[in-house]
Amino acid sequence: MSNTILITGATSGFGEARAQIFAKNNWNLIICGRRNERLKALEKELISNYSVRVISLCFDVRNLQETKEAIASLPNDWKNIDVLLNNAGLAAGRGPIQDGDYDDWEQMIDTNVKGLLYMIREVSPLMMARKKGHIINVASLAGWEAYGGGNVYCGTKHAVRAITRSARVDLLPYHIKVSVISPGAAETEFSLVRFKGDEQKASAVYEGYQPLKAEDVANSIYFMATQPAHVNIEEIFILPAAQATDTITQKNA
């Protein structure tokens, strides 16, 4: 029987690339996001390209009620979730803490931390009942370092790594693996979202060096998810070869 993965943030970037690699390898997919037209288009594409089963759930992970209803709405034969990929997230703005925008802060904390917690809380009982499962959280280089202007985003990604380690202890008796992936700069819609649609600012982030592609990160996640039952890849920290820290990149290498 095929395995099932639930991916949040499947409408773009890493999430979409992951949906492709898991579908190619015959996994059934539950794809999630807020943009329904993108979900429906991806659902259609995956079914027609790979003959896998796909279901889409359109909801905002910041909204607890919507999140509860989305998971509860899964038909029984979709509740055997083998992997929960907590990928939905964003940075909103980049600037000194003293000039911080409260709405941006709330959006990052509500999505990257609270939304991730809601998903773990709703999906882990389904895994506990089967004594089987794997939760993979997406943190960041920003979960390892705290760079100027990254204050709240870095805080949320440090939190993702801490939550991962603690959840691993809590879920150990139920044979549920918990792990985290921390990518460095990857060219997706991330910077366009961070800089609120300013294409110049967004593309400047990746100028002069080769950032990661969404597929590079998707390949690492696939590796994590397909280890034998007794192996947990606890963390992958994946950077572009041309990046040493958030602010130190080797231009035109």
Which residues are identified as catalytic? 153
Nearest to 18 by CA among 189, 187, 186, 219: 219
Beta carbons within 8 Å of 173's beta carbon, 6+ residues apart: none
Q: How far is the CB of 190 from ligand 8X3 (least distance, A)?
A: 6
User: Closer CB to ligand 8X3, residue 56 or residue 112?
Assistant: 112
Tell whether residue 185 is a contact of ligand 8X3 (CB under 6 A): yes
Q: How far is the CB of 61 from ligand 8X3 (least distance, A)?
A: 17
Structure token digits, residue 110: 């509500």
Q: How far is the CB of 237 from ligand NDP (least distance, A)?
A: 10
Q: Is 177 helix (H, G, I), strand (E, B) or coil?
A: strand
Structure token digits, residue 124: 């882990």
Beta carbons within 8 Å of 40's beta carbon, 6+ residues apart: 56
x-marked contacts with ligand 8X3 along 135-154 as a string, rule CB under 6 A: -----xxx-------x----
Nearest to 212 by CA among 189, 236, 242: 242
**Which segment (42-50, 72-80, 85-93, 245-253) binds ligand NDP by CB under 6 A?**
85-93
Residue 147's identity, in one-letter code, is Y
x-marked contacts with ligand NDP along 25-54 as a string, rule CB under 6 A: --------xxx-------------------
Q: How far is the CB of 162 from ligand 8X3 (least distance, A)?
A: 16
What is the distance between the alpha carbons of residues 212 and 220, in angstroms, rounded to a whole number?
Answer: 12
Report CA 189 to chain centroid distance, whole Å: 13
Q: Within positions 162 to 221, which residues make up the interface with ligand NDP, using CB under 6 A?
A: 183, 185-186, 188-190, 193
Residues that bind ligand NDP (CB under 6 A): 8-15, 33-35, 60-62, 87-90, 111, 115, 138, 140, 183, 185-186, 188-190, 193
